[in-house]
């Protein structure tokens, strides 16, 4: 249900900066699509247009068969994780995980069950009473991921989520994200400038340069035809 379809999407910022230039992309339901490329190639802009955090200058965004081009972010049935965790500093881990569901008036029993599931999957069971300031960087990013998945969105959008972590933790978290995706099968779009991350995580990888997709293929195909 969570396929994402971009139909000839462009973004021109003030001052005539063409950040994304007539891009079409089909992300199949359950796929893990990575957008990779150098700084400034338009990855974040493209992701933010899928999320609705940035308006498109032209084109259409369709999520789960619904044209959401003019739909506000909270009504797009997506969840996002950013490089800077953006957790609520005064709330506990449990409250951070539950907050989005509470706002959406989800029943308490459902919230408790989903929070417990996410905490188990992400190794946060012992951390639920802590505040974000009492967590390591990796634990904070796990909370941010947990907060996104408890919503059970149609699509999961991540923008350089591991860039602030050290190399060892990045490798660990990469494995965790891959396992989480294998388990939940949620349609994922993942932005990174890191080629290793792209090739290990993606079921397909879209290589961007200058606002256009140069190549879009499975990691195996990209290794054969770089």
Would you give the binding string for ligand ADP spanning residues 30-59, x where CB under 6 A is met? -------x-xxxxxxx-----x-x------
Would you give the binding string for ligand ADP spanning residues 8-27, x where CB under 6 A is met? -----x---x-x--------
Distances 140 to 6, 132, 189 between C-alpha atoms, Å: 31, 6, 20
Nearer to ligand ADP, 55 or 175 (CB): 55
Report, in Å, the least distance between residue 39 CB and ligand ADP.
Answer: 4
Nearer to ligand ADP, 133 or 220 (CB): 133
Number of residues in contact with ligand ADP, rule: CB under 6 A?
23
Distances 77 to 96, 126, 176, 197 between C-alpha atoms, Å: 19, 29, 23, 26
Report, in Å, the least distance between residue 66 CB and ligand ADP.
Answer: 17
The helix/strand/coil state of 170 is: helix
What is the per-residue burial (b if ≥16 Cβ within 10 Å, else e) of 37-72?
beeebbbbbbbbbbbbbbebeebebebbeeebbeee
Check binding of 223 to ligand ADP (CB under 6 A).
no
In the complex, the residues that contact ligand ADP under the rule CB under 6 A are 13, 17, 19, 37, 39-45, 51, 53, 73-74, 80, 82, 84, 86, 99-100, 103, 147
């Amino acid at each position: 249900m969570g396929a994402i379809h971009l139909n000839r999407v462009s973004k021109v910022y003030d001052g005539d900066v063409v950040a994304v230039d007539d891009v079409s992309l089909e992300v199949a339901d359950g796929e893990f699509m990575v957008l990779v490329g150098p700084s400034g190639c338009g990855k974040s802009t493209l992701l933010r247009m899928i999320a609705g955090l940035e308006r498109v200058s032209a084109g259409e965004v369709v999520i789960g068969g619904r044209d959401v081009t003019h739909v506000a972010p909270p009504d797009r049935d997506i969840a996002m994780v950013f490089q800077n965790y953006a957790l609520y500093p005064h709330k506990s881990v449990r409250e951070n995980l539950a907050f989005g569901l509470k706002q959406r008036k989800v029943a308490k029993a459902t919230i408790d069950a989903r929070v417990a599931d996410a905490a188990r999957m992400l190794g946060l069971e012992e951390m639920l009473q802590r505040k974000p300031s009492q967590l390591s960087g990796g634990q904070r990013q796990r909370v941010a991921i947990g907060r996104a998945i408890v919503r059970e969105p149609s699509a999961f959008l991540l923008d350089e989520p591991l860039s602030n972590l050290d190399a060892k933790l990045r490798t660990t978290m990469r494995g965790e994200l891959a396992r989480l995706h294998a388990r939940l099968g949620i349609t994922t779009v993942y932005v990174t400038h890191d080629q290793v991350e792209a090739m290990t995580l993606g079921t397909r990888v879209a290589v961007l340069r200058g606002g256009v997709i140069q190549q879009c293929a499975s990691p195996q195909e990209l290794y054969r035809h770089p």
